[in-house]
Amino acid sequence: MLALVALGGALGAVLRYLVDRAVRARVHSMFPGGILLVNVAGSLVLGLLTGLLAAPHWQALIGVGLCGAMTTYSAFALDTVVLAESRERLLAMSYVVISLVAGLAAALIGLGVGAAAAG
């Protein structure tokens, strides 16, 4: 199991880096769209995996490893603080609200789709 978590973690960390860099290269804004994208996508995938009642090895590889490394609370927190300290408080608050609402909605959608597919 540990090897599956490590493999998923390696893939998730690289995926987060690539997505964030790709978004930053295309969108020239202080808004951390790449981190928002990986966090929402990870919430969707984890919800789907949970709804499917996936086998433990898939949960280790994709849930703990891939989603755990791809999503990032620390970058979300730091980006929010940086925006607020840069006097972009409205952008910071928007980022927090959008992240929470979109992440929760994605998890619920994934859970519902997974449960429907499993059942």
Does residue 98 surpass a pLDDT of 90?
yes
Mean local confidence (pLDDT), 33-40: 98
How many other C-beta atoms are found inside a 10 Å radius of the C-beta of residue 113? 15
What mean pLDDT is reported for the chain? 97
If one counts the domains in the chain, the total is: 1
Name residues whose C-beta falls within 8 Å of residue 104's C-beta, 6 or more positions apart in sequence. 43
pLDDT, tens only, 44-77 = 999 999 999 999 999 999 999 999 999 999 999 9
Mean local confidence (pLDDT), 9-14: 98
Give this prediction's pTM: 0.94
Domain hosting residue 46, numbered range? 2-118
Taking the alpha carbons of 19, 23, 24, 26 in that order, is the dihedral positive or negative?
A: positive
